[in-house]
Structure 1
Amino acid sequence: MSKVGKLSGLKPERVFYYFEELTRIPRCSNEEKMVSDYLKGVGLNLGLEVIQDEVFNIVIKKPGTRGYENKPTVVLQGHMDMVCEKADDVDFDFSKDSINIAVEGDYIVAEETTLGADNGIAVAMCLAILESKDIAHPPLEVLVTTNEETGLTGAAELDPKHISGRTLINIDSEEEGTILVSCAGGERNIITIPLKWEGLEEGKASFILRISGLLGGHSGMEIDKGRGNSIKILGRVLNKINEELDFELASVDGGSKSNAIPRLALAKIATNKNDIEKLKKIVDNISNEIKLELATSDKDVSITLEKIDSLESAFTKEITNNIITALMLIPSGIQSMSQDIIGLIESSNNLGVLKTYEDKVTIECAMRSSVGSLKSNIAIQLKLIAQAINAHWLSTSAYPAWEYKKDSYIREVFKKSYKELYNKELEVAAIHAGLECGLFKEKFGEIDMVSFGPNMKGVHAPGESLSISSTERTFELLKKVLENI
């Protein structure tokens, strides 16, 4: 029997039942064992073949329904992890707390945290199909991967012997009425600045410089919105202070995920007591400039100084200058637009995480590009910046682009099915965000893929929401595709 929950009565009923179940299970990236075990249990309880590998990827296999037993196997794919972000003033522990969901009109919303619709709704749809006895479909392999959001390592470490299907439907897109047939490749770059500390004179006035109130968002899907990057703003404010008065810097921190546009950034600074008013004036002036610049995209941006107890030590002046130089010079945002596909972002870099440790400061970026040479060029820029400030540079978590396939059977089935259901043409598009499809192409060789999904808003940021009616229509499309195959 279904549990009575906040989503009870919504249609498709079993999709939303499983989606609500997932909101109760911790599943941040790199912390997926609990949700992986849950999926394994569901599959076994349904009497199906289940594979759980060493990195907690799940494969559940279901035979085709009557008349479809001998059709080619289709892979339904999504990822189980989610971006775990919360509002700055909210007491919430993603390792144990259930996500607080609400129904607001046509949307399921998590106002104070991320919702996990990216990509929990894919998992919920797959589970609903696996348990159904009346949805026509060919043999299915449901593949649910781990750690998609911070490195695609689940897909990268998947043993291809577990998957026999060579038609794959990725349910990790966020715009109804569009199927994706190509995506950007990407990688993470990390700059590490070794720290040197020095003691501070007594009597210095110490402050926390805080950048907050930004919307943030997905660094692929929403990089074109012109939203403010809290780390870049922090670098700009620190540079202005550095130009106009003598100050000390003791820490810099911002962002939490390299693939999320950072919403919050902090620095601990100190200055002479007779420079306090000058410091406040500098911050007020640049705050007014930035608020004017972001009046449309981030109207609630806030830049504040908060008095704290006197700091005892700070970075040396050389290190302070190196950090400011890096934050000012690292490119962030759109770097090029496609000349072949109107409106498609070709390459970008997101300065996503800034963190101070006892012996180092790290700066982590997520770059994306549909052109490999442009991705390499951004990496070279970051490497040269690191060399110029005597820092260490590392490239990691690279994944390939998914290139457009000229002849695609599954693409044509989707177009036919959408037309039959809604008497409209299905849009075929490419996306700047990274998808696991590029890795699957590299791993499986000849494989026919599309990506689709229901309407979502604000993914990777608190307030993320999922359209109820769009989910129902998207699920109907998936069922029609499986029937038409």
Structure 2
Amino acid sequence: MNKIIEIFKEITTIPRCSGTHQPFIEYIQNYAKKYDYNCFVDNYNNILCKKDNSKAKLCIQNHYDIVCLKDNCVPTIVEEDGFFKAAESTLGADNGIGCSYMLWLMSEGYDCEYLFTSDEEIGLIGANNLELELKASYMLNIDSEEEGEICIGCAGGVDIFAKNSSKKIIENTENYELYEVEISKLPGGHSGVDIHKNVPNGIKLIGEFVTENKGLLLDINGGERINSIPVNVKAIIAFKDYPSIKVHDNICISKIETKSEHLNIWNSDITNFIYTFANGVRGFDKELNVVLNSINLAKISTNIDEIEIELSARSMSNIELEKIKKETKLLLESFGFEVKTAGKYPAWKPDVNEFTNQVLEIYKKYDENASLEAIHAGLECAIFKDKFPNMKIASIGPNIFNPHSTREKVEIESINKLSKIVIEIVDSI
């Protein structure tokens, strides 16, 4: 069996949910020692492996954390129809596969800089705060997810967090009845690369359900991760009559057999915001054939005092990203929310150079349709290009479908094909 696949299966057993670092750090430290590499770890849990007196011209980089829709999840790999999947969880091919190529090259003794970054999936934290020194002139990232596409540009992003404490107690003089409303088993997906695919958003659907049926919101919790299209949402809602407008087949309605003399409800501005908010694609770049601007209503939760909403905005332009951030902030504030932003990372402006052309030339030996592309997702490449302006960067990867969801799968043949391309790129540098 391909050694990359063996390594992937091995590291999949190591806990790597975002925020979990030590098990993988210890694994890499032992692995580096085995193959005679120095191993450096900074205060943000980034890992750099390199040879003594290295003359590396090429840095190979990938993040080691994975999206876990359930805390502390360790995926169980299932092989089916030429793909690796996971049993009822994300697979972590994003980006366990990229790390596997790096570990394979280390086992072959290649003199490269090998940078494993932390917490990419929760705000590119490791890349943003890198304390390790890179000396290579070129960087190959293996975090792209479509074979044949050589990524030379990507969207920037910003996370938006909003809170609202507009809650009141009213007398139930109109005989409202309580219902638990749940939506689940939606397709889900990545809020960047899947945002244009009309994937239903569970939070938006519940907002529509409440509004169309003239309900009052008492409680709502839903969404999995800020960079995922929400799959599961539960809410407690009061209706005068049984809600007849269902809005989606996956909505389940259960009556709560309890009469309440008083109702503790959230301000209707909250459901009005959810219902009217323009979620999804906000602009399309026909030249690059890629989404230009988008925003995803990703998570919602309630506690005793307030309701919290998390959104993720993306743009291929730093100017447009700032604009969508400001517009969303003002909109939320007009609905009574307090707003803050975090996790901002820059767009990576498409850059064609001698390195990207060399990668393309090699790739075309194995796929004549290979091309240079830009994607509507955040890649750490954008941060490294900002930190190291003279570095030439390209990103490639095997076919990974539906990342950040339980439908995530990676094509085995594509893993093997890319291994030939990766080794030739490394040899050429």
Query: What range describes the TM-score normalised by the shorter chain of this pair?
Result: over 0.9
CA RMSD of aligned residues (A): 2.1
Conservation of the 8 A alpha-carbon contact between 1:207 and 1:268: yes
Which residue, 364, 367, 373 being the options, matches 1:429? 373
The alpha-carbon distance between structure 1 residues 394 and 409, as it changes in their structure 2 partners (threshold 3 A), is same
Conservation of the 8 A alpha-carbon contact between 2:167 and 2:267: no
The alpha-carbon distance between structure 1 residues 314 and 128, as it changes in their structure 2 partners (threshold 3 A), is farther
Which residue, 453, 456, 460 being the options, matches 2:404? 460
Deviation readout 1:217-247 (Å, 9 max, x if unpaired): 00111111111101111111111122xxxx5
Between the aligned partners of 1:24 and 1:238, the Cα distance in structure 2 is: 42
Q: Which amino acid aligns with 2:383?
A: L
Query: Which residue matches 2:125?
Result: 153
Work out whether 1:170 is the aligned partner of 2:141. Answer: yes
Query: Which residue matches 2:92?
Result: 116
Which residue, 349, 360, 378 being the options, matches 1:415? 360
Query: Which residue matches 2:243?
Result: 280
Query: Which residue matches 1:266?
Result: 234
Query: Which residue matches 2:57?
Result: 73
Query: Which residue matches 1:401?
Result: 347
SS at the partner of 2:97?
A: helix
Which residue, 74, 89, 99 being the options, matches 2:75? 99
Between the aligned partners of 1:195 and 1:32, the Cα distance in structure 2 is: 39
Which has the larger displacement, 369-378 or 454-463? 369-378
Between the aligned partners of 2:216 and 2:144, the Cα distance in structure 1 is: 45
* Displacement of 1:363: 0.8
Deviation readout 1:184-240 (Å, 9 max, x if unpaired): 111001111114342765986321111222101001111111111011111111111
Work out whether 1:25 is the aligned partner of 2:1. Answer: no
* Displacement of 1:279: 2.2
Deviation readout 1:334-354 (Å, 9 max, x if unpaired): 00001432x211000011011
Between the aligned partners of 1:36 and 1:231, the Cα distance in structure 2 is: 36
TM-score (norm 1): 0.83
Q: Which amino acid aligns with 1:418?
A: Y
Q: Which amino acid aligns with 2:103?
A: L
* Displacement of 1:63: 6.3
TM-score (norm 2): 0.94
Conservation of the 8 A alpha-carbon contact between 1:111 and 1:463: no
The alpha-carbon distance between structure 1 residues 314 and 259, as it changes in their structure 2 partners (threshold 3 A), is farther
More helix by share: 1
SS at the partner of 1:359?
A: coil
Between the aligned partners of 2:384 and 2:407, the Cα distance in structure 1 is: 31
Q: Which amino acid aligns with 2:378?
A: G
Work out whether 1:229 is the aligned partner of 2:201. Answer: yes
The alpha-carbon distance between structure 1 residues 311 and 122, as it changes in their structure 2 partners (threshold 3 A), is farther
The alpha-carbon distance between structure 1 residues 311 and 376, as it changes in their structure 2 partners (threshold 3 A), is farther
* Displacement of 1:480: 0.6
SS at the partner of 1:47?
A: coil
Work out whether 1:50 is the aligned partner of 2:13. Answer: no
* Displacement of 1:463: 2.3
Between the aligned partners of 2:328 and 2:57, the Cα distance in structure 1 is: 44
* Displacement of 1:57: 0.8
SS at the partner of 1:179?
A: strand
The alpha-carbon distance between structure 1 residues 309 and 164, as it changes in their structure 2 partners (threshold 3 A), is farther
Between the aligned partners of 1:304 and 1:210, the Cα distance in structure 2 is: 5
* Displacement of 1:478: 0.3
Which residue, 312, 323, 327 being the options, matches 2:274? 327
* Displacement of 1:250: 1.5
Between the aligned partners of 1:419 and 1:386, the Cα distance in structure 2 is: 48
Between the aligned partners of 1:224 and 1:452, the Cα distance in structure 2 is: 21
Which residue, 160, 167, 186 being the options, matches 1:189? 160
Q: Which amino acid aligns with 1:234?
A: I
- Residues matched between the structures, number: 427
Between the aligned partners of 2:165 and 2:127, the Cα distance in structure 1 is: 33
Deviation readout 1:122-174 (Å, 9 max, x if unpaired): 111101110125xxx4x311111111111001100102x52111210010001
Q: Which amino acid aligns with 1:50?
A: C
SS at the partner of 1:182?
A: strand
* Displacement of 1:308: 3.0
Q: Which amino acid aligns with 2:358?
A: V
Unaligned runs of 5+ in 1: 1-8, 86-92, 292-300
Q: Which amino acid aligns with 2:62?
A: G
Unaligned runs of 5+ in 2: none
Conservation of the 8 A alpha-carbon contact between 2:220 and 2:300: yes
SS at the partner of 2:14?
A: coil
Between the aligned partners of 1:168 and 1:322, the Cα distance in structure 2 is: 48
Which residue, 225, 229, 248 being the options, matches 1:257? 225
Query: Which residue matches 1:217?
Result: 189
Conservation of the 8 A alpha-carbon contact between 1:418 and 1:425: no
Between the aligned partners of 1:219 and 1:63, the Cα distance in structure 2 is: 41
Query: Which residue matches 1:303?
Result: 251
Which has the larger displacement, 231-240 or 189-198? 189-198
Between the aligned partners of 2:62 and 2:290, the Cα distance in structure 1 is: 24
Conservation of the 8 A alpha-carbon contact between 2:36 and 2:51: no
Conservation of the 8 A alpha-carbon contact between 1:415 and 1:425: no
Question: What is the percentage of aligned positions where both structures have the same residue?
Answer: 29
Between the aligned partners of 1:252 and 1:448, the Cα distance in structure 2 is: 46
